[in-house]
Amino acid sequence: MYNFQGYHEATTLAEALALLAANPRLTVIAGGTDVLIKLRHGVIEGAELLSIRHIKSLEGVQKLEDGTIAIGPLTTFSRVAEDPVIKDHIPVLAEAALTIGGPQIRNVATIGGNLCNGATSADSAPTLFALGARLKLKNNTGERVTPIQDFYLGPGKVALKPGELLTQILISPEDYRGYGGHYIKFSQRRAMDIATLGVAVVCKVKEGRILEDVRIGLGVAGPTPRRCPEAEAFAKGKAITSETIATIGKLAVKAAQARTSWRASREYREHLVEELTQRALREAIVKAGGEAIA
Amino acid sequence: MLKKISFTVNGLQVALEVDVRESLLEVLRERLGYTGVKKGCEVGECGACTVLIDGTPVDSCIYLAVWADGKDIVTIEGIAKNGELSKVQKAFIEEGAIQCGFCTPGYVLTATAMAAKGKKYTREEIKRELSGHLCRCTGYQNIIKAVEKALAD
């Protein structure tokens, strides 16, 4: 038996927001693969749960009229990995989804839960950072849209105000059209493990040999997922050569604020940032239509 | 915190009152006697408690019983039909893909869901689909062979 003190279930967004407004201390639960494990381990105690898993309007993926891809936060990772809109337009996110847990976890774990628990190791985060995702947050009185970078405040801390729920993950057409991407999750096991480091790179290539735009998202390289502004600025307009790619890898380390944990030392993580950024970039270049670099 | 729910288990309609804090694993094993559903790590890592919910493999240890309301659940007890083992079960025996048996119900259920999809799987894909299960006895090779065999025709 799980140890929690109360349980509410909302079937519509309005109902959930009303319950949250009345009691902002409710612990929101969606797929439960994170919250229930925290309850099991005693990380959260005496919680009162608000289950939002039956709110149909928060589920599924749509391509809006203006080309924006809108992902419902309750979309499971199995669905993210198989969704035709995601596979057609942002296959790098489908790749990332398949690195999460194992199949039984992916069948219930949701992309919104992955973001809202604020872990720097969230496997969907580096890719959503690289894609410049925006998050729609709603409460009882209104809504706001925030860039994903501003959503992460620290380990386990996100910018949800009391009473707010994540209701949509948005990716604009100018952030995915023409881009190719690749995600690398580095972990001790290829399933059921938390990333030692995660790197997502998306890029746009001009004339097959010039980097028009490069975006790098890192997970576990600091207290929150992050982009690599220096490396990205350097990359713009550069010819695709091994030297360029090596420099981008080196500059990516500047964005890291890695720390030593039992999983890996700071130095090792920095090494991974440098190396995996290069590997992910090489793949992303090919997927963006560029020539492969030996 | 009691709640009335109803669902089907292996084709049988069940209605009962559960405590909202109970996991589906607990309700299946302790209230309904489906002890083929194994209690392993209880944090969704070992896959021993896997059941099919509306045809999809799920760890029943990290799934609240109240969420099963209205769902169709299949446990290992529902796989053999009229005393006849399923193709997946037979393949596990033929390939010696079983030792202590603790992980086997979960593997069989995941493989059953794979077979129901009717698609072809590469060996790599089979490994990926089975990656949510731990086996400490057989070393996986026989299990993979058994699943390959069961999916072959």
Q: What is the pLDDT of residues A229-262, one digit of tens each?
A: 999 999 999 999 999 999 999 999 999 998 898 8
Closest CA to A116 of A138, A140, A85: A138
pLDDT score, position B61: 98
Rounded to a whole number of angstroms, the distance from the CA of A191 to the nearest CA of chain B is: 6
Percent of chain B at pLDDT exceeding 90: 96
Left (φ > 0), alpha (ψ -120 to 50) or beta: where does A131 sit? alpha
Question: pLDDT for B47-95, tens place per residue?
Answer: 999 999 999 999 999 999 999 999 999 999 999 999 999 999 999 999 9
Q: Which residues of B touch A79 (CB under 8 A)?
A: none
Beta strand pairing call for A165-171 and A152-154: unpaired
Choice between A45 and A65, residue whose per-residue pLDDT is larger:
A65
Q: Is the dihedral of CA A197, A265, B128, B107 positive or negative?
A: negative
Contact A203, A180 (CB under 8 A): yes
Rounded to a whole number of angstroms, the distance from the CA of A76 to the nearest CA of chain B is: 12
Spell out the domain ranges in chain A: 4-51, 60-172, 181-287
Q: Assign domain A60-172 to its CATH architecture.
A: 2-Layer Sandwich (3.30)
pLDDT score, position A262: 87
Average pLDDT rounded to a whole number, residues A164-178: 98
Q: Does the distance separating the beta carbons of A40 and B131 come in below 8 Å?
A: no
Q: Is the pLDDT of residue A294 over 80?
A: no
pLDDT score, position A189: 82
Rounded to a whole number of angstroms, the distance from the CA of B116 to the nearest CA of chain A is: 15
Closest residue in chain B to residue A38, using alpha carbons only: B43
- Give the total residue count for chain A: 294
Q: Does the distance separating the beta carbons of B131 and A37 come in below 8 Å?
A: no
Rounded to whole angstroms, the Cα distance separating A185 from A99 reads 7
Rounded to a whole number of angstroms, the distance from the CA of A97 to the nearest CA of chain B is: 13
Domain A181-287: give its CATH code.
3.30.390.50
The CATH fold of domain B87-151: DNA polymerase; domain 1 (1.10.150)
Percent of chain A at pLDDT exceeding 90: 93
Average pLDDT rounded to a whole number, residues B12-39: 98
B26 touches chain A (CB under 8 A): yes
Q: Assign domain B2-78 to its CATH architecture.
A: Roll (3.10)
B131 touches chain A (CB under 8 A): yes
pLDDT score, position B138: 85
Question: pLDDT for A125-143, tens place per residue?
Answer: 999 999 999 999 999 999 9
Q: Does the distance separating the beta carbons of A104 and B47 come in below 8 Å?
A: yes
Judge residue B136's burial from the number of C-beta atoms within 10 Å of its C-beta, 0-12 exposed, 13-18 middle, 19 or more buried.
exposed
Q: Does the distance separating the beta carbons of B21 and A7 come in below 8 Å?
A: yes
pLDDT score, position A86: 98
- CATH 3.30.43.10: does it fit domain A4-51? yes
Average pLDDT rounded to a whole number, residues A146-162: 97
Spell out the domain ranges in chain B: 2-78, 87-151
pLDDT score, position A193: 86
Which of B26, B42, B57 comes nearest A104 by C-beta?
B57
pLDDT-derived band at A188 (thresholds 50, 70, 90) equals: confident
**What average pLDDT does the structure give for chain A?**
96
Determine which of B2, B4, B20, B51 to mutate to test the interface with A (most A C-beta atoms within 10 Å): B20
pLDDT score, position A144: 98
Can you give the pTM of this predicted structure?
0.96
pLDDT-derived band at B6 (thresholds 50, 70, 90) equals: very high
pLDDT score, position A190: 79
